[in-house]
Amino acid sequence: MLDFNHGSDRPAQDPRALPVAMRINDLVDAALIAERDKQPRREYLGASMLGDPCSRRIQYEYVGAPKDSDKDFNGQTLRIFAAGHQFEALSIKWLRAAGFDLRTEKADGGQFGFSVAKGRIKGHIDGVIIGGPSWLFYPALWEHKALKDKSWQDLAKRGLAISKPLYAAQVALYQGYMPELAQHPALFTALNKDTQELYHELVPFDASLAQSTSDKAVNILQATDAGQQMPRMASKPDYYLCQFCPYAKRCWNGA
């Protein structure tokens, strides 16, 4: 007769008595962090970061300054990033099924994008739409984001420029440095991660925004080369955006 009660007297302090979810998640998170740590540091100003309102934060990221000890990406955040790529893949599949000729990589498998200032300013776009319904114009830049419901609802209500200036600057910079994609409005798609709703917005090229964002990048490069620190965007550390900055302690403690 089999005894299924063996081991029931296992001491409570035995590590194996920990909840299975905690033990598995610790292993998953450790693997994700190890994978992240193997990746080479980005040594250029990326278009996705240049819309940030604080030039000093951008500079910290550009030079590879260590994040505050309690602000580095943990396993859960890395899972969120990975899920975003999967949501993007779904949107690509749906748009193609709807008749859009959406290209997400070159014939050689490389990404579409731009590189200027001897490779110190770069951007990689999500895709290019080269054909589809007759009521749109092609080619058109395609940019995608996956957002939580509250953020998605705000975007759908107020539009990209007001709700998401960081993304608006990113789109403008892409169009500015890829003039073949500036002739027609970009298509910005946002997927609601909670409801799977899709929001689409046509974004005409904003030359003024592209120029100011490019100028910001050049100023950061020049200041960094001269060993100068960019100014903060706030006068006090309790400014609400500073509360979310991964370099807040370094910035305000004078490191």
Q: How far is CA 55 from each of CA 170, 203, 222, rounded to the nearest angstrom?
A: 15, 25, 12
> How large a percentage of the chain has pLDDT more than 90?
67
Does position 6 have pLDDT exceeding 70, yes or no? no
* Mean per-residue pLDDT over the chain, rounded: 89
- Angle 134-139-144 from CA coordinates, rounded to 5°: 100
Would you place residue 196 in the very low, low, confident or very high pLDDT band (cuts 50, 70, 90)? very high
Three-class DSSP labels, the chain:
CCCCCCCCCCCCCCHHHCCHHHHHHHHHHHHHHHHHHHCCCCCCEECCCCCCCCHHHHHHHHHCCCCCCCCCCCHHHHHHHHHHHHHHHHHHHHHHHCCCEEECCCCCCCCCEEEECCCCEEEECCEEEEECCCCCCCCEEEEEEEECHHHHHHHHHHCHHHHCHHHHHHHHHHHHHCHHHCCCCEEEEEEECCCCCEEEEEECCCHHHHHHHHHHHHHHHHHHHCCCCCCCCCCCCCCCCHHHCCCHHHHHCCC
Sign (positive or negative) of CA dihedral 176, 178, 181, 186: negative
Q: What is the pLDDT of residue 5?
A: 56
Residue with tokens 């200027």: 116
Q: For the segment 55-106, what is each residue's pLDDT rounded down to a tens digit?
A: 999 999 999 998 887 766 677 777 877 777 889 999 999 999 999 999 999 8
- Angle 124-97-108 from CA coordinates, rounded to 5°: 35
Does the domain at 45-69+80-252 match CATH 3.90.320.10? Answer given as yes
Q: What is the pLDDT of residue 73?
A: 66
Q: What pTM value is reported for the model?
A: 0.84
Q: For the segment 140-178, what is each residue's pLDDT rounded down to a tens digit?
A: 999 999 999 999 999 999 999 999 999 999 999 999 999
**Based on the number of CB atoms within 10 Å of its own CB, is 164 exposed (0-12), middle (13-18) or buried (19 or more)?**
buried
| Structure token pair of residue 109 | 């498998």
Does position 1 have pLDDT exceeding 70, yes or no? no
Domain limits, the chain: 45-69+80-252
Does position 9 have pLDDT exceeding 70, yes or no? no
